Each structure stands twice: as structure tokens, then as C-alpha cells.
Amino acid sequence: MILKEKISAMLPEWRERVTKLLKEHGSVVVGDVTIKQVYGGMRGVKALVTDISYVDPNSGIRFRGHTIPEVLEKLPKPDGAEMPYVGGLYYLLLTGEFPTKEEAEAVEAEWAKNAEVPAHVFDVLRAMPKDTHPMALFSMAVLALQGESKFARRYAEGMNKFEYWDPALDDAMALTAKLPVVAAFIYRLKYKDGAEPKYDPNMDYGANFARMMGVDNPGYADLARLYFILHSDHESGNVSAHTMHLVGSALADPYYAFSAAMDGLAGPLHGLANQKALGFLMSIRDKFGGVPSQEQLREFLWDTLNSGQVIPGYGHAVLRVPDPRYVAQFEFAKKNFPDDELFRLVQLMYDTVPPVLQEQGKAKNPWPNVDAISGTLQYYYGVTEFDFYTVLFGVGRALGVTANYVWARALGQPIERPKSLTTAMLEEAAQKA
């Protein structure tokens, strides 16, 4: 496999670099931890390492050091497509290098080879009650695939720890290959004809997903490529990425770890924000019978804030500029459907919300985040079932978290085990200070 050759060639140098850093500088202090952080969800505590992505407060996410506009420009694209191969992004995340078109296509071909989903997975999903949430089905399907794990099999047979990354990469490829099929099946089972989708080896990941979903507008293949790329990774401290890392650190295989990560993504404070933001836009549209005037919107926003609610899709814990993942989707919509009513409302929100939040003076970042627009794009192409949006997020997120899993095994990252304190101990520390 092309990625195996590439990573095994890079590994000796990486291992030496990490060993040297730990041996010669392991006791260097990189930050202090306050009582507020201990009691406050470890916000801002520097205790994780990843080379795959980094969130810069002023330029947003960087994949392997590259901004989103750079990534979208430099990754190779399928012929006639507006957006790059998702396989090219996976190559970049896993190796740190931009692939050639042939290399991106080799990753896509590897996915096509691995995309077959065993029949029992469809049976498990069909056996569930009709009102099961799509995210519960998604997590369950991943767990039902666990028997496929080469990592678990090799570990049970007795595997040298320097080899962990190798079957981890096999699992990562096999899992990410199957996810679009699983996701499209869940969509069809819950909302459409219940047909079992089949991956077409002559199409790329994005086009396959669009076809399996049954969306025949050609623009949706490009949106799928863009969406999966933008949602792939956001450092390692967010709930889904951190869960994958934590569970994987116990040497649970990628299937177990990813299923757990998806349970975290299903939380309303994490992956569900996109549907909240779209719901907010639609409530405005319904209240005013279309796009309101700017003054009407201003008043509505103030009423929302004064009733103790937040403006969904705006603000961010780390970012201090408009989220580049928002900007990329905004540009896509502007190019492809500038006159869409919901998109015009998104634009009016962009002109109106930041000054209102600034005037209120609470939010540290008045700008839109990724969730302010992502639902609007799905809605335009006819994927109107809000509950499904987090599954889409999950398919994209798999790319980043599995890449991190492979590198964590490759660099021998150990089991995670932070230390707990009691409240009395914190009080004692406070007294001494």
C-alpha cells in the first residue's frame, strides 16, 4: 500500500526525533495548570501532542501546517471537479506531504478495494427500532465491524510493539473506506428506500457518497469532498478526537476507538451544533416569511440575547477570526447558489451578528464558526433531515482521528492516565497559595 511504504520510510527519523526530545528535554515545563482548569474541563492545558493539525487563533485550522485555502488549492482534483480528492487529503494528513494526482488516486483505489460492508452490519441496523438516532446507528455499525480488525487479530497473536502502526493503518483504510457506505445506508434506511448502497470503484470517495445517498445534483459530489475535508481534523483536544486517542491508548483497536469517538460527537455541545444553527436560520425565515430586513434581524438577535440564549454558529473557544471552514463553504455557496433564500439569510447574518455581539461585549469572538453555514449547504442539495448531519461530520472526522491513531501507535504513545485530585486538596493548595 502506498501509504505504508511512505510512512515506513519516514518512521526511523520520527522515532529518533521523539526519543531524543524525551531523553534530553523530557523535564522542560511547557505550562502551568490552574484550579480553574482542573475544575474546568482542562481548558487550554497543554497536554496532548499531534503533528497532523493545529488550530491557530488567527488563521484557523492548519492541516500539516497548511491553511484551508492552500489545501484546497494544492490537493489534486478529479477531472472536472471543483473540489479535491478526499484521498489526497488523507495522504496529506498521514504523511505531511501533498500527493501527486497518481498518489491521491492510489489512496482512492485502496478505499475502493476495502469498501465492501459485511451483510451482518446492514442486518444489525435493520433490526433496530425505526426511531433510533442516526448517530446511535452509526456508532453501532462501527462496533459491528470490529470483527474485521487486523490490529486486534495481530495483537492477540503476539505483535512486536514497533509493528502496531502497520495493522492500525490497514484498519484505518478499511474503516474509512466503509464509512460512506454505512452512512448512506443509514440515510436510506431512515429516510428513503432502505436500499443497500454499493461503492463504485470507478468513482472517487466524494462522488461515491453523493451517488449512494441518492442525490443526483452533480454539485453534491463536490460538496461532499469539501465537507469531509473541512471536518476531518481540529487538533486533538476536541471531544471526538480526544476520545479516539484515549480509547486507542489502551490499545483498543481503531473500530472500538472510533465507535467511542462517535458517541462523543453525538453530544449537543460538540457535533450537534450544525443542526441548531440551521434551525435558528429557519426559525427566522419562518417568522418573517422570508429574509427579513437588517433592522428586523438586529431586533430578533437582541431579543435572542436578552432571553439568555446564544446565537448559534457564532463564537469560538480558540478562533478569533471568521472560521476558515465557514469561509470555504460560504465561497462554495456563493459560486453555486448565490440566490438561495437560506444562503441570502446566512449573508445577512454575517453582516449583522458580529456588530451585535461586539455591542453586547461578552463573546470573545463575534465571528461565525463552521456550523453557521454547513447545514444550509446540505439543505440546498435536498439532504434536509437535520438528525443526519452529525453522521456526515463523523465520516469526515474519521480521516483525522484515524490518521492520529496510526501515528500514536507508530510513535509509541502510551496509555493515558492523568492524575485526579480531591476538592479538599485543591482547597488546601489554594490556602497555601
The one segment of 20-28, 62-70, 91-99, 365-373 that binds ligand HAX by CB under 6 A: 365-373
Scored b (16 or more CB within 10 A) or e, 399-427 reads bbbbbbbbbbbbbebeeeeeeeeeeeeee
Give 240's contacts (C-beta < 8 A, 6+ positions apart): 261, 262, 264, 265, 270, 271, 394, 397, 401
The residue from 143, 261, 363, 401 that contacts ligand HAX (CB under 6 A) is: 363
Helix axes 389-410, 165-191, angle to 10 degrees: 170
Q: For this structure, is 371 an active site residue?
A: yes
Q: For this structure, is 204 an active site residue?
A: no
For 366, which DSSP code? -
378 binds ligand HAX (CB under 6 A): no
Three-class DSSP category at 349 = helix
The residue from 15, 133, 198, 270 that contacts ligand HAX (CB under 6 A) is: 270
Catalytic residue among 171, 233, 253, 371: 371
365 binds ligand HAX (CB under 6 A): yes
Q: Cα–Cα distance between 191 and 184 in angstroms, integer? A: 10
369 binds ligand HAX (CB under 6 A): yes
Q: Cα–Cα distance between 152 and 244 in angstroms, integer? A: 16
Residue closer to ligand HAX by CB (options 149, 365) is: 365
Three-class DSSP category at 49 = coil
Contact between 234 and 400 (Cβ < 8 Å)? yes
Catalytic residue among 56, 263, 270, 340: 270
334 binds ligand HAX (CB under 6 A): no
The one segment of 110-118, 215-223, 309-317, 376-384 that binds ligand HAX by CB under 6 A: 309-317
Three-class DSSP category at 61 = strand
Give 307's contacts (C-beta < 8 A, 6+ positions apart): none
User: 347: which 3 cell numbers?
Assistant: 449573508
Residue closer to ligand HAX by CB (options 95, 240) is: 240
CB of 18 to ligand HAX, least distance (A): 29
Q: Which residue(s) pair with 54 in the sheet?
A: 62
364 binds ligand HAX (CB under 6 A): yes
Residue closer to ligand HAX by CB (options 56, 196) is: 56
362 binds ligand HAX (CB under 6 A): yes
For ligand HAX, which residue has the nearest CB?
315
Catalytic residue among 231, 234, 242, 316: 316
198 binds ligand HAX (CB under 6 A): no
Site string for ligand HAX, 286-305 (x = CB under 6 A): -------------------x
Residue closer to ligand HAX by CB (options 317, 425) is: 317
154 φ, ψ (degrees, to nearest 5) = -65, -35
Q: For this structure, is 316 an active site residue?
A: yes
402 binds ligand HAX (CB under 6 A): no
Q: Cα–Cα distance between 235 and 217 in angstroms, integer? A: 33
Site string for ligand HAX, 313-332 (x = CB under 6 A): xxxxx---------------
CB-count exposure of residue 389 (10 Å: 0-12, 13-18, 19+): buried
User: 58: which 3 cell numbers?
Assistant: 488567527
Q: Cα–Cα distance between 172 and 170 in angstroms, integer? A: 5
CB of 46 to ligand HAX, least distance (A): 17
311 binds ligand HAX (CB under 6 A): yes
Which residues participate in catalysis according to the annotation?
270, 316, 371
Question: Interface with ligand HAX by CB under 6 A: which residues?
Answer: 270, 273, 305, 310-317, 362-365, 369, 371
